[in-house]
Structure 1
Amino acid sequence: MDPLSAITAALVAGSSAVASGVATEAVKDTYKGLKTVLVDTYKLASTQLLEKKPTSPAAQEAVKEEIQDTPAILDDQAVLKKTKALQDAMRQELPDHLTAWGTDIKELEAGGNIIAECIQGGVRGKKWKAKGDVRISRVTARGSSSRNP
């Protein structure tokens, strides 16, 4: 994954986990560490918007654009190290925590194939349009121990 995508994805995942109220201390600490270096060193303002609305596409895009507009971030070893630490902390989360977060797909428009598999916590959505195939499979709902085939 390229640095821009990795940093953006880590910030979105971290802010979502913290906002959900079920993040472990490891996730909270590593998210705070990444955010602190971005705010203190690079004066990223969009992280505040992301924390208020972590699932907002506009907030996510604002963070991505602000990082993209500051190319030094993409080469900063401290940022990349903290990004990896947050990714690792997220991977270590208990399945119950991951299940509580679930997956939100507010808007989905497919003109071709979209395949989503092995999703924990259910899938939520509002505006979905498909002109082609959309397949969502092997979803484990919150509190469920079985998987859909």
Structure 2
Amino acid sequence: MDPISIIVTALATGAAAGLKPTAAKVIQDAYAGIKALIQRKYGETNVGLLEKDPASKAKREVVKEELEKSDAADDPELLTQAKALLDAVQQHAPEAAGQIGVDLEEIKGASLRIGDVIAAGAGVKVRKAEIAGDIEIKGVRAGEVSENPSKRQ
């Protein structure tokens, strides 16, 4: 997964888990920390969009586009905080990762591409994987999908 995708996934997962009243303090702190870092280094972004609907692909794409334009992909501090947030969510609220559609763990990899995932439930789960070649997962729909395909124009 490219650095921006990791960062956006961490933000969406952190929003899904960290804004719940029962969220572990470590998740809340990690989420607040990455948001503050983004605001400090890259100014105003639409990261707050994810707090309203962390599962929204469209909102994640907006945040992703903004971060790509700001060269956040080359920021090792931001990537480190994103990974720390994902680790905190995985440890303290693993169900939140499934709510947004992708649930990764101990991946080493050569290549893995996941695209167009809409989920209210599992979506895609990858566990202890050591990927030695290309793996591509596309067009996954899972659980009770809130997006109604018949209403798309």
- TM value normalised by structure 2: 0.62
AA partner of residue 89 (structure 1): A
Residue 103 (str. 1) matches residue 99 (str. 2): yes
Residue 92 (str. 1) matches residue 91 (str. 2): yes
Provide the residue aligned with 2:22 in structure 1: 22
2:124 & 2:80 partners in 1: Cα distance?
29
Residue 124 (str. 1) matches residue 144 (str. 2): yes
Secondary structure of 2:23's counterpart equals: coil
2:59 & 2:143 partners in 1: Cα distance?
21
> How many aligned positions are there?
115
Structure 2 gap ranges (5+): 102-116, 127-141
- TM value normalised by structure 1: 0.64
The residue correspondences of 1:1-149 to structure 2 (distance < 5 A) are 1-71=1-71, 73-93=72-92, 97-99=93-95, 103=99, 116=124, 123-126=143-146, 127=148
Residue 116 and residue 6 in structure 1: after superposition, are their counterparts in 2 closer, same or farther (change >3 A)? Answer: closer
Q: Does the aligned pair in 2 maintain the 1:20–1:101 contact within 8 Å?
A: no
CA RMSD of aligned residues (A): 2.8
**Deviating more after overlay: 36-45 vs 4-13:** 36-45
1:8 & 1:20 partners in 2: Cα distance?
19
AA partner of residue 124 (structure 1): E
Secondary structure of 1:125's counterpart equals: coil
AA partner of residue 14 (structure 2): G
The structure where strand makes up a greater share of residues is 1
Structure 1 gap ranges (5+): 109-114, 130-149
1:2 & 1:104 partners in 2: Cα distance?
18
CA deviations 1:49-92 (Å, max 9, x no partner) are: 22222222222111011011111x11112111111111111121
Q: Does the aligned pair in 1 maintain the 2:55–2:99 contact within 8 Å?
A: no
Runs of 4+ in 1 over 3 A off after TM superposition: 19-22, 97-102, 115-118, 126-129
Larger relative contact order, structure 1 or 2 (CA cutoff 8 Å, min sep 6)? 2
Residue 57 and residue 91 in structure 1: after superposition, are their counterparts in 2 closer, same or farther (change >3 A)? Answer: same
Q: Does the aligned pair in 2 maintain the 1:103–1:124 contact within 8 Å?
A: no
